[in-house]
Amino acid sequence: MKEKLVLIGNGMAGIRTLEELFKLEEADKYEITVFGDEPHPNYNRIMLSPVLAGEKTIDDIILNSREWYAENDITLHTGDPVVEIDRVGRQVKSESGKSVAYDRLLIATGSSPFIIPIPGADLDGVIGFRDIKDVDTMLEAASNYKKAVVIGGGLLGLEAANGLMKNGMDVTVVHLMDILMERQLDKPAANLLKASLEQKGMQFLMEAQTASIVGEKRVTGVEFADGSSVEADLVVMAVGIRPNFMLAEQAGIHCERGIVVNDTMQTFDPKIYAVGECVQHRDQCYGLVAPLFEQAKVCANHLAHLGYGRYEGSVTSTKLKVTGIDLFSAGEFNEEEDDEILVMQDPALGVYKKLVIRDNQIKGAVMYGDTMDGTWYFQLLREGTDISAFRSTILFGQHDLGDAGHGDEARVANLSDDAEICGCNGVCKGDIVNAITTKELFTLDDVRIHTKASASCCSCTGLVESILASTVGEGYSAVPSKKPMCSCTEHSHDEVVEAIQKEELKSMRQLFDYLNWKTPDGCASCRPALNYYLLARWPEEYQDDAQSRFINERAHGNIQKDGTYSVVPRMFGGLCTPKDLRAIADVCDKFDVPEMKVTGGQRIDLFGVKKEDLPPMWKDLSDAGFVSGHAYGKAMRTVKTCAGKTWCRFGTQNSTGLGVKLEELTWGSWMPHKFKLAVSGCPRNCAEATIKDFGVVCVDSGYELHIGGNGGIKVRVTDLLCRVETEEEVLECCGAFTQLYREEAHYLERTAPWVERVGLGHIKQCILDDEAGRKALNERFKVGQQYAQIDPWKARADGAHTNEFTPIELAV
């Protein structure tokens, strides 16, 4: 008969203990029950910051689905916390009244955010930052309010502030100390961090002591000990955590600052174990994930009755999950009297490295700007390695070692198997190598699925790819393996597109039936993609499905943070006439448009338009000769031009005229993602053609054609496709390239990653080497344009389109 194991707490530490237990042969000895106080299955709590910032979704950070619990015969009770432990009767009781007996009990109740006990701390709009509910509260506040105050300039506070700022709030960080992240950074690194965050728009009040939070029902401001104050619609307290040990303490289990455990993770009751942030081990409480996972491995060892694992404490490292900021620290970075300091600093590049050395061993490290060698330094620190032999070059990184080879593969070659690669999920190099060799993995996606390394914040992706390359050699593929396009199907994007073409599937219903879709009508993730694939392949026959488009595309307006819309009439090549400007001005007066702005794409954006005003506004614009600018769709957006030789003394060709022709060719075409073009009249490149999806640079002898550029968060300079002599060749190549992208790219894949995925050689072969293929692509593009280039607002009267205002099913 199986023993009964009950886990109190459905978080990362407790579930990791079960995962480690399942790896052992003795794992099947237990009948397992899990109680969690949140309604969700186990999720990655340290990835809440990217969710708040809009870089991840809740689904992205789920670590173990409900199916996983069922597959492992785990009885899961979510939203039902345990409220009593009966140690004599060996059973637990939950809030809903459930009683479950145990032979072994594992407590993993985590921690709670510390709320400063000051006047006003109980007002609406004052929260901590600890779970999904907190994230939902912050996102709701960001959609309704403007000003946020984050109390605490530590790791969590800065991540919360960054997320709120990305959601459009004005954010002020209040910190008691004179430097940020004082537990992880020294002053030079903290100053670099503060300057970088200030450039992003974050505001700081340093050495500020919070005295009270003001407001009647909801917070309206924060007052400080010096008498100053700041306005606030939302206050997030990120000043620390408190271990949740009240339940254990009420049961008579010995607790101090946390649940006291020994090196086997046993409490003073030998039948009860504890792991995670609720634990106190050797007078230490840990709030980072790596120590919790080390505890989980030891605890699983003893639950399996193996008895040889010991937890002796942890040395921790820290990374900040804020896009565009590389920061790493580990160990004792504040030097003592006998310590030696090695420092490398390049203010122009924003790079700072500091190593604290004691007896030729690394005792601490702080890195800002260039953190690639953080894993190596951390390994040297943990292992107590004598660095005498390479001390003179250690600040230049592992790649500088003479016997280590070159590049990132060399960096991982010298790492031991227990070197931590993925701090988010506690994955070591040996785990990754073992998974690659035993499961015959060849892609990054495969490694993510089997080990979870690089599956969270992705900061370790480079190291994981290097381990892959060094382990499997020429068999390594940087291209992700086949991945289902969503949970509704087992089929990838490529397989869906292939089926649409080969089986001549011309409706969504045919597609669902043929590919055995798991959900009858698809979901908000797959329907827009399927609608696009069908429309791109069968423009003459497929009826565009409005309910499978995002609201921006249906409304031809870009929904804004306050619920109003912005409208962008198309101006071909940026050209306009006094009559055009008068028409736009008249429309703005008629519909009380509060703000107009000239865009980077050389058009005029009308802000603050009410949803009910969109149809009559577009009718008036249409009557004046304007069509939609598609500034809100997965479509061709703009063709940016410069003055060219018509006016500019440096111009070599008529760039404006060519830009108009390109826009007339491509406008109205739906794309896998947004698509931008540009024509520069000379190599000075004023129209920035070399960071566009399709760019033309005019030269004396003709035109240079560039593809695959991106000017967004991750800037990518274009690849040179070819040089041609005439405008006709430019237009033909543009049509062929655009159609190849439309037919081959995955939905929501920009040209930049598409070019990198399929290779420049493949694109040249299809467009340059195969003349017949190029002409066929261009003709297919023109056919599609016959159906795409219809003024949607004139077509309303003809019933020739489906962009009616229907209830919003797909949010932005």
- By the 10 Å C-beta count (0-12 exposed, 13-18 middle, 19+ buried), 803 is classed as middle
Binding site, residues?
642, 648, 682, 686
d(CA 617, CA 591): 7
Tokens found for residue 592: 């009380």
Binding residues for [4Fe-4S] cluster: 642, 648, 682, 686
Instruction: Quote the tokens at residue 64.
Output: 């173990």
Q: Are residues 604 and 597 in contact, defined by beta-carbon separation less than 8 angstroms?
A: yes
Residues 683 and 701: their CA atoms lie apart, in Å, by: 12
Strand 126-127, strand 234-237: pairing: parallel
DSSP 8-state assignment for residue 482: P
Angle (deg, nearest 10), helices 429-439 and 461-472? 50
- Rg of the chain taking only CA atoms, in angstroms: 30
Contact 252, 261 (CB under 8 A): no
Give the integer Cα–Cα distance in Å for 543 and 498: 20
Cα separation of the two ends of the chain: 53
Strand 558-559 versus strand 111-113 pairing type: unpaired
How many helices (H) and strands (E) are present in the chain, helices listed first?
A: 25, 36
* Length in residues, the chain: 812
Q: How far is CA 646 from the centre of its chain?
A: 45
User: Token pair of 757, please?
Assistant: 């995925």
396 Cα distance to chain centroid: 30
Opening angle at CA 42, ends 39 and 45, nearest 5: 100
Backbone angles phi, psi at 338, to 5 degrees: -90, 5
DSSP secondary structure letters along 474-508: GG-B-SPPP--SSTT-S--HHHHHHHHHHTT--SH
CA distance 14 to 277: 10
Residue type, 658: L
The binding site for siroheme consists of 686
| CA 766 – CA 772 distance, rounded (Å) | 9
Do residues 2 and 103 make contact, with C-beta atoms less than 8 angstroms apart? no
Contact 572, 664 (CB under 8 A): yes
Helix, strand, coil % in the chain, rounded to nearest 5: 35, 20, 40
In whole angstroms, give the CA distance from residue 746 to residue 525: 13
- How many other C-beta atoms are found inside a 10 Å radius of the C-beta of residue 349? 9
